[in-house]
Structure 1
């Protein structure tokens, strides 16, 4: 497919949703990538303790992982607009409570307030994917929309932390959390009130009918997102440790950002993959690619930042397509009426994976060196690759039985 044809695929999206929607969903997801780091910086600065700041950041991340699916489930039943507007108000109150708690001793009130900040943080990306499930009548359009979502997610995970750092330098640690709260107030509200919220309005359930349930099969995609999040977290800490060993810890963030370069390019081009290549095969191929990249990461750990950047770039080529493929696989398993909840579950899987990868990878890097921390990426990639294999085997057997009959 030519470049003009590729662009025509994406030009269809504003026709379906409106340009204002694309802006609201893009900027509205920045806070979810900013808050854990902003909480870390603020609490560390206010308490004078990195340990307390780390605990507060972990509480915010765990609160987010727990709250996002609950909010998604409520939105499926009550509608997105009212649910999101309520959550925006609760989030602003939680941020105010955190500032109030920091005026006193750094104890459990600070940690509880940080958890509430995360608990009430709205997941625009999950809600947006749920809307696309209703707004894209054709499979080709849905693939394009999910590729756009994956690309915007990649950009948010790079720009969000960078914005925290920039605002922190210009306005202090408190400024970063205030900016994140302002983005929630403005852009999440705009997203909530955009006309597209009507497509996810709950439909009345006829007498005797039951609401569609979420099948247990979505556990596979959730596990896939957990593995992918572990790849992110372990890569972050392993690359940072390798950069620190090379004498420049701050360069680790720049090396990690290289992942987004390859990931963005391949995610945008994912719509070119022929339909005949099924989701399970794409998933396995992406996992295998990440596994190859992880081997390169381990090998490059002690050979300078240039070699490490190359390994990170190769790994990133398969990360974005993997995220999109897993999300699409989950969407194919459920009714659109449960889309917000399922997409929220996937988001929580990534958050928990990042926390796990960062904690375990950091401990391994500190005790046994960067290569040991980056080896965790290989473990997560192996799990990621293995998850779709049973489905591929079943399909191969079915085709074999059909050919023999």
Structure 2
């Protein structure tokens, strides 16, 4: 198959406008945590900045599943439209609180409001691709599964690119323009492109569940996937804290963002490779192989010394990240009830964010007391735990498609 055939197959579902709009609409979620941290660090010190950025991430993790559930029941259009406008208003309120030097509590509450109103463009974009594929004429199951894998691979790649561009844009805007500039940019983006994403013709309507709709959302299979997502977030959070501590130890704290960006670049490349060419292995095998590769690639982290070494190791780890996440989201598509797909995708993203936040706090404390290597040791421990979960619990028979489970009952 030609290299571009995988992208053409995905674009044929909705046209090129949807990927462009969804990328620009999800960019504020990548900008805001870093922009909040940098803005308040410049204007008011690292202590207040860390607390305020933390409340933003906590709000985002808590509200994600609720917004996903509302989108499933009420439709994407009203939920994303309301959340996008509310998010733009919350960003404006946070900027007002910071510029007027209001209390730290007020700023933290405002940041929590920003997190709580994040429109969950990434999870809803994934569920939208699935809805588009479900609406295609009936055909061979293998083709549908292959197209789903391509679409989710592409969307994961868009996510990775947004998490490269978001923090980079935030850092450049703070230095070149003003500490509040990236937040103003984020608010403008979500007010414009969040609305466009909501109003795009592909927005699925709400679907109320049938009386017998295949059982509860949290099946054993989905619990396993949520645990895998939580541990992946913990790997990110602890590794990021370790990279920041190492950069500070080497006397150039600002280099941490560029080092961490190496993972996003290689992860995006791996996602593109999966989009254009799908392998013949099962999703469960791919998940186990990806997490095994990632765990092995984590091992050199505690031994790194300088910028070059840590950048190479972080870049290598990225090669396994996208394949792992693509397998997790693709398996979730198979086991989740179709009428709760947005909620499922949002739950997985909340698990990623929650794990990242918890591990960042723990690794930061370890690095402060015992140096950056202790943070990297926590990263390796999280990787080993993820591998154990994958080897013990990730089995093909566990991940029976939701439709088949409903038929069997």
TM-score, scaled to structure 1: 0.90
Residue 251 of structure 1 corresponds to: 255
C-alpha distance in structure 2 between counterparts of 1:87 and 1:251, whole Å: 34
Q: 1:19 to 1:213 in 2, by over 3 A?
A: same
| Equivalent of residue 349 in structure 2, options 347, 355, 359 | 347
Are 2:85 and 2:190, in contact at CA under 8 Å, matched by a contact in 1? no
Are 2:224 and 2:394, in contact at CA under 8 Å, matched by a contact in 1? no
| Equivalent of residue 62 in structure 2, options 66, 77, 89 | 66
2:133 pairs with 1:139: no
Q: 1:242 to 1:193 in 2, by over 3 A?
A: same
Deviation at 1:311, TM superposition (A): 1.2
Residue 405 of structure 2 corresponds to: none
Specify every segment of 5 or more residues in structure 2 that has no aligned partner in the other structure, as ranges.
135-143, 399-409
Residue 33 of structure 1 corresponds to: 30
Deviation at 1:355, TM superposition (A): 1.1
Residue 227 of structure 2 corresponds to: 223
Residue 382 of structure 1 corresponds to: 384
| Equivalent of residue 150 in structure 1, options 134, 152, 156 | 156
Residue 89 of structure 1 corresponds to: 85
C-alpha distance in structure 1 between counterparts of 2:245 and 2:107, whole Å: 29
| Equivalent of residue 107 in structure 1, options 101, 104, 108 | 104
Are 1:212 and 1:337, in contact at CA under 8 Å, matched by a contact in 2? no
2:83 pairs with 1:75: no
C-alpha distance in structure 2 between counterparts of 1:362 and 1:224, whole Å: 22
Q: 1:319 to 1:249 in 2, by over 3 A?
A: same
Determine helix, strand or coil for the equivalent of 1:248: coil
Cα deviation code 1:296-335 (max 9, x no counterpart): 11222x2x22222221122111011111111111111112
| Equivalent of residue 287 in structure 1, options 280, 284, 291 | 291
C-alpha distance in structure 1 between counterparts of 2:101 and 2:325, whole Å: 42
Residue 307 of structure 1 corresponds to: 309
Q: 1:182 to 1:389 in 2, by over 3 A?
A: same
C-alpha distance in structure 2 between counterparts of 1:377 and 1:202, whole Å: 40
Deviation at 1:210, TM superposition (A): 5.5
C-alpha distance in structure 2 between counterparts of 1:273 and 1:84, whole Å: 32
Are 2:209 and 2:339, in contact at CA under 8 Å, matched by a contact in 1? no
Residue 265 of structure 2 corresponds to: 261
Are 1:205 and 1:211, in contact at CA under 8 Å, matched by a contact in 2? no
Residue 183 of structure 1 corresponds to: 189
Cα deviation code 1:95-148 (max 9, x no counterpart): 232233332532322211110111001111100000111112411111001111
Q: 1:224 to 1:391 in 2, by over 3 A?
A: closer
Over aligned residues, Cα RMSD in angstroms?
2.0
Are 1:284 and 1:386, in contact at CA under 8 Å, matched by a contact in 2? no
C-alpha distance in structure 1 between counterparts of 2:231 and 2:395, whole Å: 21
Aligned residues: 386
Deviation at 1:18, TM superposition (A): 1.2
TM-score, scaled to structure 2: 0.89
Specify every segment of 5 or more residues in structure 1 that has no aligned partner in the other structure, as ranges.
397-405
C-alpha distance in structure 1 between counterparts of 2:168 and 2:200, whole Å: 28
Are 1:294 and 1:375, in contact at CA under 8 Å, matched by a contact in 2? no
* Structure 1 outlier segments of 4+, above 6 Å: none
